[in-house]
Every structure is written in C-alpha cells, then in structure tokens.
Amino acid sequence: MTFEELTIGLPAPKPLLLAEAALFLDLDGTLAPIASRPQDVRAEPRRTRLVENLARAMDGRLAVISGRTLADVDRILEGRVISVAAVHGLVRREPDGTVHEAAPHPALPEASRRFREFASRDSGLIVEEKGLSVALHYRLAKAHGGPARLLADEIAAGTGLTLQHGDMVEELRTPGPTKGDSVRDFLDQPPFAGARPIFIGDDATDEHGFEAVAGAGGLGILVGPPRETAARFRLAGVEQVLAWLEAAL
C-alpha cells in the first residue's frame, strides 16, 4: 500500500481532551474561511470567543501558527491569543509576550517589484507585502496561476528566497524557521512543555507542523479535501473544526 493510499482516507479525530493537549492552529482555511482577498477576513464573535475560552481552559497551551503577519493575526482574533508564530514562523511571539523576528532578506524588494509588475496585467492579481515575505495571490485570476508559479520559481532560483506554493498563492519568503520549527520551539517551554501536541491546518505549508507534532508524539489534523499528507486525521472544513473545538469546552 502506498503512502497516498494510507493517508487519503483519513478518519475524523476523536473528541478533544483539553487537559492533556497543546493546540497549534493555522488560521486561514482552519479557523477562518479563505477569502478571495486576504484583507476580507475579519474578526468574528464566535471565533474570538472560542479561542479565548480554549486558551483559558488549557492554561495558555494554545498557539496560532499562520502565514499572516502578527498584526493581521491579532486583528482577526482580536488579540485573544498570546502565543503566535506569524509569517510561517519568521516572527514568533512567546507565551510571555516577547517577540522574535528574523531579518528580512535583501532580495525582497526586487521580488516585490517583479510580482507587482506581473500583477499589473490583471486586477484580480493581488500582491501582499508581509515585511519578511511577499505573496502573489491569483484566486481572482486563476488563468494566471501557471505563469505566476513560473515567475516565482525563477525569482527564487535567482535570489535565494524560499518559495512556498500555497492555495492559489505563490509566496517568496526570507529563509528561516518554518511552522514546524515554531511548534518545536513552543513545546520546549511552559506552558506547552509535556503536553500532547495537536496541529490543525489545511495547506501545504502546514505539513511542517504535522511532521513536528508527530515527532513529539502528537497528531496532525488536515482540514479540507483528502490529499497526501503527514496528518493522521481529517476534518472537512472550517465549520467542522470550530464545532470539534467547541465540543471540548
């Protein structure tokens, strides 16, 4: 049996036991529906209440691990989560509030210029600046997906920037920590140390997180359609994730 055959038909996770777990949650596509434009995702009372109650019930063993900037995570979750890894791990806010941030790669301005030049051909192409990375979104201009990927590959090869293929997005980032590295860093310190880690995410960038929790005796939960993954369980979408988490409170 192939790896794909083993992972594509994943079962739903068993009920969550908060007392023994540490939760690592992606944001877009996991806690919040993916929007056509990144800025269209806004705070929502149900989600804010959920993360606030989870953090309290778990004595702080809750972290959001996202490709978004730290400011964006705080905007969408209304500042209710202290422990955050942003920009795929290049920015990390510790449980005590201390923020660590990588130095930006010097080629980012050139990558941004070339992405913006490419985006000028269609109003549906969106360039998102994140300080330590730049992303080219084509959800509203799907016909440009192939050329966008070729451009991102070319820039990465010529600059040393790390390329991440996402869901209708190509992102060039400063080389450095991944989502998995962030999970491991959190697990090395209170209040996460000693707990069983659970990572929930939907995108290819979340595979690093799935691998990290598996290496620490935990489990990954894939959100969305079946695909080849290091996760052991699956939930169909954002609504199922929220309901599964709410049932544990």
- Sequence-distant (≥ 6) Cβ neighbours of residue 206 within 8 angstroms: 26, 65, 179, 199, 220, 222
The encoded tokens of residue 179 equal 């989502």
Closest CA to 152 of 135, 138, 140, 167: 135
Q: Reply yes or no: is the peptide bond before residue 191 cis, omega within 30 of 0.
A: yes
Alpha carbon 133 to its chain's center: 14
Give dist(CA 86, CA 101) in Å, integer: 9
Task: Report the interhelical angle of 179-187 vs 207-215 (nearest 10°).
Answer: 30
CB environment 112-143: b (16+ within 10 A), e (fewer) = bebbeebbeeeebbbbbebbbbbbbbbbebee
Give dist(CA 28, CA 96) in Å, integer: 25
Q: Is 153 a catalytic residue?
A: no
First to last CA, the chain: 38
Contact in structure between 224 and 30 (CB atoms under 8 Å):
no
The encoded tokens of residue 232 equal 């052991």
Residues tagged active-site = 26
